[in-house]
Structure 1
Amino acid sequence: MGLLDRIKQGLKKTAQILQTDIRDLFKTRGRLVDQAFLDELFEVLVRTDMGVQAAQQLVDQIAQKYRNRVIEWSEAIEEIKKGLKDLLRQPESPIRFASQGPTVIMVCGVNGCGKTTTIAKLAYMFQSQGKKVLLGAADTFRAAAVEQLSIWAQRLGVEIVTGPQGSDPAAVGHRAVARAIETQADVCIVDTAGRLQTHQNLMRELSKIHRVLGKQIPEAPHEVLLVLDATTGQNGISQAKHFSEAVKCTGLVLAKLDGTAKGGVVVAIRQQMGLPVKFVGVGEKPEDLLPFDADSFVDAMFAES
């Protein structure tokens, strides 16, 4: 499967909603762009969880160009796609690698967001680029998290640094970076405990891990990736804001896109956060983590199955 085909597969549920619901607005070949049509179109767009602001912007663009004129279904689709691509376009933001020594990537997110699987996918991606990867299991809060990450490490053939359950997560992060330096690893990915953004003591712990990672390598962590579960929709924005304040997130990974019809949430997140979306998760397999590209993403949102 090519890159676009894989994104299409991941956004199948979102595309089905958009294709079906927008097509249903057109009872005949064309539709008069009056207030009733604009209101119905607005409701369809909001159902993808792109947010009221983005949906209104897209509807206003169509109103400005077509009000009191007949619009064809294909014209409506093209106008919406063009508007979405403008909203989602962002400067290229590849992973920032260290100029020398290991690149340290800290990964955070709430419980159940798909963080561990995302780390495995990142490790697989870096491996496929010929890089030596080491994992740090600094989620010492849940034994299951360490076990799950260890299984992935074994499956991928990468080294993992762990600590006893309940031990200091920052100490595990510190040891992981030290081991990455010692073994001349190219990339050190540090997991952190899944937590709700409202738990202030846990957010302070995240800040501590962030500080400790920088003690051995001054610029570390080079990336702080926040994993968001696409199926939670708009709630992801609240998460993003709190995490970003605590650990200066550098980019977002939108996981579980294949499990939701709310693929439009990426629009709301981009509009309100200003953080780049670096990757999207479109399946369970290690290779199902794809670099985010606005044009491909929007084309996939409207792809006919």
Structure 2
Amino acid sequence: MPANGGRGVGEGESPVSFFERLKAGLQKTKEALIGQVNTVMSVFRKIDDDLFDELEEALIRGDVGVATSAKLVEELRREARQKGLKNGDELLPLLKELVAERLGSGAAPLRLNEGGLTVILVVGVNGVGKTTTIGKLARHLREDRGLKVVLAAADTFRAAAMDQLKVWGERAGAEVVAGPEGADPAAVAFDGVKAARASGADVLIVDTAGRLHNKAHLMAELGKIARVLGREVPGAPHETLLVLDATTGQNAIQQTRLFKETVPVTGIALTKLDGTAKGGVVVAIADTEQVPVKFIGVGERLDDLQPFDPRQFVEALFSE
């Protein structure tokens, strides 16, 4: 099975085409974030405390978050002073560099269990697009990485959820393992492991019910699913992907913190970036939660979920 060093980000399609789609998808975020930053720098031509105060407010309004905005502005102050900058418009290239540093120098690949079955647990609250994300992830792993994928429908509370996963599994070319409505989700996950091994699959992706952080029994159930997977496959789940809706802005940070208390979240899939002005939250999550964004969704197409490339994201966000 190909290891982490396999195909790079976006291989299997034209990187230019996805970059153009990313730029288009980030347009609202760009207007809300970079547009406000440019306005501040054009009004406050001189670099002084007033400019930095307004710049911090602009970053906060752009959903970069209070803590991250304060750190970015403090670093800008220090760098501007060291470089002897005088004009506000000289700060934008510097801000671009600092944002890129916050996001990391390169893509964070999925952790694959080389030589064995890789188990990916997918979690998140209701309505963030977990099932859709799983279908698109399965397509990516099969088409772009050449891996055989099995899906386990461990969201057993809604028959519609299982039916939806079966539709996405068919689209992505992945077998779907499901139990009856109301079945024990951990038992479905267990059956998924057995089916994946029997079919010689490389990856098992386990869907889970959407759950709110204040539902203690549902959060505890997540822990049970993870324990069952770990008992059946050493080291499983190898990835626990938290699906977040970019349109929720700063609430996505709170969701990340609360899910981390229950399961070891190893990566984030951020959906609906194309429909929001709140994409600046990507920077806040990477900075405050220390959980890498591994996938982003910028549309409804099957291939619109792509591995997150920080450099590509920054270039699209700051592009002319």
Q: TM-score range by the shorter chain?
A: over 0.9
| Percent identical residues | 50
State whether residues 101 and 181 of structure 1, in contact with CA within 8 Å, keep that contact through their aligned partners in structure 2: no
Confirm whether residue 173 of structure 1 aligns to residue 189 of structure 2.
Answer: yes
> How has the CA–CA distance of structure 1 residues 197 and 123 changed in structure 2, closer, same or farther, with 3 Å as cutoff?
same
Confirm whether residue 113 of structure 1 aligns to residue 112 of structure 2.
Answer: no
Among 15, 18, 21, the residue aligned to 1:6: 21
The residue correspondences of 1:234-253 to structure 2 (distance < 5 A) are 234-253=250-269
Among 143, 147, 154, the residue aligned to 1:138: 154
- Which sections of structure 2, spanning at least 5 residues, go unmatched? 1-13
Q: Which secondary structure state, in structure 1, belongs to the residue aligned with residue 268 of structure 2?
A: strand
State the one-letter code of the partner of 1:95: L
CA distance in 1, matches of 2:50, 2:104: 30
Q: Which secondary structure state, in structure 2, belongs to the residue aligned with residue 201 of structure 1?
A: helix
State the one-letter code of the partner of 1:217: V
Deviations 1:120-142 (A, max 9, x none): 11101011121111110000012
CA distance in 2, matches of 1:27, 1:292: 31
1:291 Cα shift?
Answer: 1.6
Among 56, 59, 69, the residue aligned to 1:45: 59
Give TM-score scaled by structure 2 length: 0.88
State whether residues 101 and 184 of structure 1, in contact with CA within 8 Å, keep that contact through their aligned partners in structure 2: no
Q: How many residues align?
A: 302
Confirm whether residue 123 of structure 1 aligns to residue 132 of structure 2.
Answer: no
Among 47, 52, 71, the residue aligned to 1:33: 47
CA distance in 2, matches of 1:10, 1:134: 30
CA distance in 2, matches of 1:69, 1:32: 9
- Greater mean alpha carbon deviation, residues 285-294 or residues 198-207: 285-294
CA distance in 2, matches of 1:209, 1:26: 51
Confirm whether residue 194 of structure 1 aligns to residue 210 of structure 2.
Answer: yes
State the one-letter code of the partner of 1:25: V
CA distance in 1, matches of 2:105, 2:207: 27
- Greater mean alpha carbon deviation, residues 229-238 or residues 292-301: 292-301
Confirm whether residue 263 of structure 1 aligns to residue 288 of structure 2.
Answer: no
CA distance in 1, matches of 2:206, 2:25: 26
Q: Which secondary structure state, in structure 2, belongs to the residue aligned with residue 189 of structure 1?
A: strand
> How has the CA–CA distance of structure 1 residues 176 and 57 changed in structure 2, closer, same or farther, with 3 Å as cutoff?
same
1:160 Cα shift?
Answer: 0.3
1:101 Cα shift?
Answer: 3.0
Alignment partner, residue 38 of structure 2: 23
Give TM-score scaled by structure 1 length: 0.93
Alignment partner, residue 149 of structure 1: 165
